[in-house]
């Protein structure tokens, strides 16, 4: 019950102190092994990445887009388990039909519900990030639902990667997932937990930490 209450409080931006405490627990520890790169062919260009971290209900929309709501939390760390503040995290995913759509400016200005398709945020002082989206459809044959990320920070190498949902039987048929060595597969699976929003809707919470390779900014040779 405590976790549900904490997650509900996370729906209010920015993070509350209680929510910050919840995300520092060891429930999601990965050992800070480097997250495998997984670059999707559907990567949107930078101009298509919106400034919203709520893809399901972008700013100015009175209602969320149709689909199962997914609340995404995570941390960005380096391989020494040092949280990275001010890392830019971009996220995109397919809509319910498995299609990637990047709405134009007019779609954001009208009053109708809209799935933004992409979003971006910046990690806080302890490396935490959060998004709100809808559960993605599959992107084609031999595919599983997934979220896509790009992480950039001045002290690290850029990382393109994907996240699969724990417990989804389609993971084992996904072309990209099956190519990964067995010991790396757990590093691209987010931990899924259902919870109820304050509005009463049943949603999913998925937590996924991303570990990036550090770059020694003092090295000159």
Share of the chain above pLDDT 90, in %: 64
Confidence of residue 30 (pLDDT cuts 50, 70, 90): low
Structural domain boundaries enclosing 64? 2-212
Q: Domain for residue 185, yes or no?
A: yes
What is the C-alpha to C-alpha distance for residues 156 and 117, in angstroms, rounded to an integer?
26
Express each pLDDT in 105-158 by its tens digit.
899 999 899 999 999 999 999 999 999 999 999 988 899 999 999 999 998 889
* Residue 196 main-chain phi, psi, to 5 deg: -105, 135
Q: Is residue 220 part of a domain?
A: no
Angstrom CA distances, 20 to 75, 124, 171, stand at 11, 10, 30
DSSP reduced 3-state for 8: helix
Residues 6+ positions from 135 with CB-CB distance below 8 Å: 67, 68, 69, 70, 96, 145, 204
- Say what the pLDDT of residue 199 is: 60
- The whole-number pLDDT of residue 48 equals 87
Residue 94 in any domain: the answer is: yes
Q: Is 84 within the bounds of a domain?
A: yes
* CATH number of the CATH domain containing 52: 2.60.130.10
Residue 106 structure tokens: 């007019």
Task: Indicate whether 56 belongs to any domain.
Answer: yes
| 11, pLDDT greater than 80 | no
Q: Is residue 105 part of a domain?
A: yes
Q: Number of folded domains in the chain?
A: 1
User: Which pLDDT does position 200 carry in this prediction?
Assistant: 59
- Is position 21 within any domain? yes
Three-state DSSP class for residue 7: helix
Contact 51, 44 (CB under 8 A): no
221 occurs within a structural domain: no
> pLDDT at residue 62 above 60?
yes
3-state secondary structure of 180: coil
pLDDT tier for residue 83 given thresholds of 50, 70 and 90: very high
């Amino acid at each position: 019950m405590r976790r549900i209450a904490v997650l509900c409080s996370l729906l209010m931006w920015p993070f509350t102190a209680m929510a910050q405490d919840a995300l520092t627990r060891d429930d999601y520890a990965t050992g800070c092994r480097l997250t495998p790169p997984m670059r999707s062919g559907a990567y949107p260009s930078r101009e298509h990445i919106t400034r919203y971290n709520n893809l399901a209900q972008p700013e100015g929309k009175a209602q969320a887009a149709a689909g199962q709501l997914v609340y995404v939390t995570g941390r960005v760390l380096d391989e020494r388990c040092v949280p990275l503040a001010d890392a830019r995290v971009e996220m995109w995913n397919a809509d319910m039909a498995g299609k990637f759509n990047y709405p134009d400016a007019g779609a954001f200005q009208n009053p109708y519900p809209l799935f933004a398709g992409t979003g971006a945020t910046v990690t806080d002082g302890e490396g935490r990030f959060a998004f709100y989206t809808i559960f993605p459809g599959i992107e084609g044959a031999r595919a599983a639902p997934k979220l896509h990320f790009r992480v950039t920070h001045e002290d690290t190498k850029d990382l393109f990667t994907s996240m699969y949902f724990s417990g989804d039987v389609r993971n084992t048929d996904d072309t990209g997932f099956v190519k990964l060595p067995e010991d790396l597969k757990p590093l691209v699976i987010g931990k899924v937990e259902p919870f109820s929003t304050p509005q009463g809707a049943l949603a999913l919470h998925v937590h996924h930490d991303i570990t990036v390779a550090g770059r020694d900014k003092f090295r000159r040779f």
